[in-house]
A and B are shown apart, each in its own frame.
Chain A
Amino acid sequence: MFYRIVNDQIQLHLTHPHQTEELFALTDRNREFLKQWLPWLDKVQGPEDSRHFLKEQLQKYAEGTLLTVLIYYEGKIAGVMGFHQIGQSNRTAEIGYWLGEEYNGRGIITACVRELIKIGQEYLKLQKIIIRCATDNARSRAVPLRLGFELEGTFRRAENLHGRWIDINVFGLLLEENSHEPSD
């Protein structure tokens, strides 16, 4: 399907129903790992839920409200990432991501976020990118910090994750730091 090359090992593919079985298997295998930080695992019970997700994301991409891609590492699905909530008037979008545990520690997400920033700049004309992480999600927080995002705030008890209150760090990267007037 349609993809963008990040490097020799990594590609970002648009979502499509043909990826259903492989995506569900990855999600299912990493259920406990991902549940530590992500709220939606209980909603993915079977391949039909993954299929619905893949279709829905493609539809919303067509509507221009988000961009979700599957991360392929050496030909296999390793995780999911994208811009959710692309704000038109403030030209701001938020990046979210996850990898299967077996793909952690190789710099995959850092390389992919770098690529997504370029896409945001070139195609979506964004002026700002946001990443939100739980304050105790050290691996996730390391990603924006590695890429020069600035910490903008700490929202206390911002989300209830499986019965536990979590605080959230908001990181922002300004892409047109020096222009003072919105240019659209």
Chain B
Amino acid sequence: MDRNRHFLRQWLPWIDDTQTPDDTRRHLKERLQASIGGDEIHLTIVIDGAIVGRAGLQQIHPTNRTANIGYWLGEEFTGRGIMSETVRELIEIGRHYYSLQKLTIRCGTENVKSRAVPERLGFQHEGTLRRNENLYGRWIDHEVYSLLLEPNNSTESH
């Protein structure tokens, strides 16, 4: 993470809150606790024993059966299809372990590499949320993508 500070700061809001290994330790504990609660699941992506990034499901909603996917990679691990493969796996996890009926991904409008992930995986564009985030003093619009996991006419709920 520290090595990729400059790269990640372009798109992620929490970089400045992560100054030391202790901050990372606290973050990992909190995320694991949230996973136990069933609200989210955060996974570390490891290739040949080395950590290359993180990805997960957030805001898992039990009645609506929806969740949002978030992700990042170290810059040196981009361009190899790692995130697309990871998101494909997260879709299966959402479907089978959390019985989700819909997944969303939100990307900064100018974050072309991030937008390419849902576009590559057949997500549909649902809208543009204007000035949705204040990222280090710059307003960011978000593109919302979604994938429906059940046939559109199903009405049953859990």
Listed in ascending order, the chain A residues whose CB lies under 8 Å from chain B are 39, 89-92, 127-128, 150-160, 163-165, 170, 172, 174, 180-182, 184
Contact = CB atoms under 8 A, between A and B. Distances in A.
Contact of B131 (A39, A127, A159): A127
Contacts of B156: 163
20 contacts: A39-B63, A89-B13, A89-B134, A90-B131, A90-B134, A128-B130, A150-B130, A156-B148, A157-B102, A157-B148, A157-B152, A159-B63, A160-B63, A160-B64, A165-B101, A170-B129, A181-B137, A181-B139, A182-B137, A184-B134
B18 interface: no
Interface residues of B, number: 29
B151 to A, nearest CB: 11
Contacts of B157: 160, 163
Interface string B49-72: 000000000000001111000000
B128 A165 contact: no
Contact of A153 (B64, B102, B126, B134): B126
Contacts, number: 75
B80 interface: no
A92 B139 CA distance: 12
B144 A155 contact: yes
Contacts of A151: 127
Interface in B23-69: 63-66
Query: Which of A127, A128, A154, A165 neighbours the largest number of chain B CB atoms within 10 Å of its CB?
Result: A165
Contacts of A160: 63-65, 157
B66 A172 contact: no
Given A157-B66, A158-B64, A158-B102, 4 more contacts: A157-B101, A163-B155, A163-B156, A174-B131
Contact of A128 (B126, B131, B137, B146): B131
Nearest to A89: B134
A109 B138 CA distance: 34
B88 to A, nearest CB: 21
A154 B132 contact: no
Contact of B128 (A152, A156, A163, A174): A152
SS class, residues of chain A in contact with chain B: strand
B130 A155 contact: no
A152 B134 contact: no
Nearest to B127: A153
A159 B128 contact: no
Contact of A155 (B101, B127, B137): B127
B2 interface: no
B146 A155 contact: yes
Contacts of B138: 181-182
B110 to A, nearest CB: 14
A155 B133 CA distance: 19
A51 B126 CA distance: 39
B7 to A, nearest CB: 22
B38 to A, nearest CB: 17
Contacts of A157: 66, 101-102, 148, 152
